[in-house]
Structure 1
Amino acid sequence: MYPTFLIVSLLSPPVGPRDPEAILRMPLEMPLAAETWLNGLSFSPAGCNRCVVLCFRTHASTENREREKAELVRCVDSLNQLMRHRKDVLVLGLTSEPESDAVRFVEALKPRFPVGARSTTPRRLSVKSFPTIVLLERTGDQWSVRRLEGVENLPDDWPTLLGAQLSPGVSGAATPSIEELKTGLRELKAEETSRLRDELETLRIRMKTDEFMAFCDEIEYQHGMNAAWLGRVRYERHLADPHSKDKQSDGSPVADALYAWRQDKNAPAFRKIDEFNEELARFNPPTFDGLLQRYAALITSDPADMVIRHQLVPALVDVESLDRLELFKKMLDMEPDPIIRTRLILSIESVSPPGSPATIAYLQEKLAGETNLYWVIPTLEMTLDSIVNGRNGERYRVLDSAGTNLPTRPRGY
């Protein structure tokens, strides 16, 4: 048995009217299958009655490329929202294309849902024109299949198409209006970063682009130089900006490495983390040149090396025998990962003398050459503001759960 489907294919003729009566029936044995799955896949078809599947192709015709790309971005954004807020609905992406094309799709558009390559499901559903939206709902021993045309109004159509929440414990509250969301964001506290992300993403999908970007301008400095707030507002504006062709990610390689490590810290691939910590403990105190040399050797794509770099930075904050400020600068100069660069910048803030002209000049130079707009640029700006105004120092250092003094402002870093 397999769940219900909403098929959104994305290479299309001009958007046409929906036909809500285009309904057919299919047997329960209809397969939901793909040769390869990306982004993980964990679901139990038994008892699942609804599913939203994005059927896509990555090869667009030249004359329709920009329109098709815009429709694809809009659909992925909408399905990401649906996945977050409707726990009773399974969200998937399917393509008949090979894994390499599916990988390119995942890397470019950052879907939060599983994506299957070399799938026969669209063909079995007789999807011939694109985009075709097909809503399948399990009724007795069959799936009811409703085909709908167009993707333009998808975000506002989810409640109508999918009906009430089915999962226990999932809120069934009415969707807030755009004005209600904007008012809520104007009153939002800086530390409510998850709500900031969710509601800005919702507005980006529902508002006209120019109006959304203007609203981001309005609230950008609502909490001064708070890096977490600045980064999220600027990032959502960047995603909406039609003139920004190369969209950045709000993740980083070390985030993926940390996730894998936390899933299984005893895996052989991560054994070198404990070995490095044991090695470091034998050299007490560690030397400046020795640490720098070891750090340079850790600049690899190996997930274990990334985790070590991520852990090492806060562990060095209290090693007073070292010239920590100079060490963090040299480590920052060679560090490729934006999240670890952020940790290094906050560590520089912790150990720099307030108002230090040398530190200010160094960070200004780094800011001029930095490109990461979500993590690093806001942190550089916040740190510069702190040092210039003499607000950096011990009060920005808190004891983390591991017992090491770690600069953790803002939350989430």
Structure 2
Amino acid sequence: MGIRYSSVVDAPLRQVFDWHARPGAAVRLTPPWQPLTIVREAASLRDGHAEFALPAGLRWVAEHRPQDYRESAAFVDELDSFPLRSVLHWRHRHEFALVDEDRTRVTDTVDTPVPERILRPMFTYRHRQLAEDLAAQEWAAELCGEPMTVAVTGSGGLVGTALTALLTTGGHRVVRLVRGPADRAGERSWDPKAPAPGLLDGIDAVVHLAGASIAGRFSPGHKRAVWGSRVGPTRLLAKAAADAGVRVFVSASAIGFYGADRGDELLDEDSARGTGFLSDVVTDWEAAAGSAAEDGVRVVCVRTGVVQSPRGGALRVQRPLFSAGLGGRIGDGRQWLSWIGIDDTADVYLRALVDERLSGPVNAVAPTPVRNREYTRILAGVLSRPALFPVPEVGPRLLLGQEGAREVALASQRVEPAKLAAVGHSFRHPDLETALRHVLGR
């Protein structure tokens, strides 16, 4: 028994094969709804092995078989970890065939007793992800030309994991700035309070994603951590980037800039700032990043909306509730939700790195914001569950406090990606249902 899945991607054969051989391919191809954590990627498609962590302490080790390897044509991996191999057979053959000089047929054949109905969503996801990543990397190459060396803080987070894999599979070199010892190749130790001299030597671009989570009760200590982990470290890193002659500094930011509730006003990058703690933080945060612009560095502040992925953020919490039929709108459900898929988020950061037409604040949101009640209806529909349990506003207030509830759980911001539209940026998943079906395997 097994499954065979085949599709044609719009890229030359060698480019498609090389994409699979680069670091990050396993990250980009692993569906986010699966309970897998990548421990180690294969160093070689000929004879390396990849390791994934599963629940209950299990490990999935995929061994590549040299006897089945054919350059630019095929490679094979087999399950080779105890105790899984004693109860489950898995042999996965990856084949690549020339259609014409600009198109490649990719075929996955898996010999396994796992039912096709379980595997089909995974391979649908993998093939779509491959095609869309190659398309994104094509427009990035047209804008950028040569591959870059990009230093990234927060590379292990939700956005950082997706972005670094998108960069490395596209042929760019990523240097991870880590706050502990630099124990692995491609890492440099970074002290947010005092970046070391030479930290950014040889770096073309910086992506700064690090910062304490905003989620939580807005106590004085939590607010100090949110502000302190962003403003000071960003200013110091921006200065280090300017001193090192880095070409572009891309900093995370947030649509919290616009305030907790602007009614039905459609907000773009030229809209005035709002009021409240998060607006104050984002204003200072962006000013800290913008200091590098005084020295000629192109600075982009990515004002991100609510990122959709079951691996993190709000959807990670909502998915099990809605899957159990316990989901519902928050309050009256009239709040505007400006959302964005995780892969579109990575694309926006890639665009910020390579497109010299972008500078200053850039709204990283899908072009179709929805109200909370509409989000609830769509998520429940994707999961084929009812949404019969509305959450009264008192619930978030008890959990997050009055201020935290107003600025996070009950926030209402109707934001549009005006600057991205002006440069002709195309979203992979511009509508919410398509985005949720992609990341939830539905």
Do they superpose with TM above 0.5? no
Bigger CA radius of gyration: 1
Structure number having the greater strand percentage: 2
Q: TM-score, normalised by structure 1?
A: 0.30
Q: TM-score, normalised by structure 2?
A: 0.29
